[in-house]
Amino acid sequence: MKILVLGVGNILYQDEGIGVRVVQELEKSYLFSDNVRLMDGGTLGLRLLDVMMEYERMIVIDAALWGAAPGRARTFSAEETRLAGRSFQKTIHQMDLPDTLALCQKLGQAPQTVVIGVQPHNCLDLGDRLTPPLLAALDEIIALTLEQIKEAGGTWRIKTGQN
């Protein structure tokens, strides 16, 4: 099964870039099976449609407003993101994830999707670093992402020489 791990967000707005930062850390520290692709989706939004439709499973990491403490992460189904409305729509990077997934569905090529939503502390102010609460939670978010990759049928190992 082909798996896309898609980190989205704008790294210039602190916690808004959490998805991209998680993908960067995964690329730096792990090697993945051939069926797993890591991708920095940045702020591409609907321009990711063609890429999304190439995969059977997709794991998206993104900042999400769901009322938890900053740095908390949880998984959402594609349907939950649609029902969540503003939490996932029209964020700073204009991903509009529910609409993009709905379009994939209409075209008959929607990957089975899980979203790892991370409650941001600050995603409105300029800054090229995550805030302390998200930095402190980064290992937990990575572990949750690795768990989702495993559930989707992917494997990984730590790169040699990594801590």
The CATH number of the domain holding residue 45 is 3.40.50.1450
Count other Cβ atoms within 10 Å, centred on residue 141. 21
Q: What per-residue confidence (pLDDT) applies to 134?
A: 97
**Residue 56: inside a domain, yes or no?**
yes
Question: Region 13-36: what's the mean pLDDT?
Answer: 96
User: Which of 38, 35, 39, 50 lies closest to 2 in space, CA to CA?
Assistant: 35
H or E element at residue 32: strand 30-32
- 163 within domain boundaries: no
Q: What is the pTM of this model?
A: 0.87
Is the pLDDT score of 162 beyond 70? no
Q: How does pLDDT run across 90-107, given as a tens digit for each residue?
A: 444 444 666 777 777 788
3-state helix, strand, coil in the chain (%, to 5): 40, 25, 35
pLDDT band at 66 (very low <50, low <70, confident <90, very high): confident
- Tens digits of per-residue pLDDT, 128-153? 999 999 999 999 999 999 999 999 99
**Number of structural domains found in the chain:** 1
74 inside domain: yes
Residue written as tokens 């949750």? 144
The reported pLDDT for the residue numbered 85 is 53
Q: How many CB atoms lie within 10 A of CB 19?
A: 31
For residue 129, report the phi and psi dihedrals to the nearest 5 degrees: -130, 150
Q: Is residue 104 a part of any domain in this protein?
A: yes
Q: How high is the mean pLDDT of the chain?
A: 87
CA distance 120 to 127: 13
7 in any annotated domain: yes
Asked if residue 27 belongs to a domain, the reply is yes
pLDDT at 82: 62
40 found inside a domain: yes
Domain holding 66, by residue range, is 3-158
Q: Is 63 domain-assigned?
A: yes
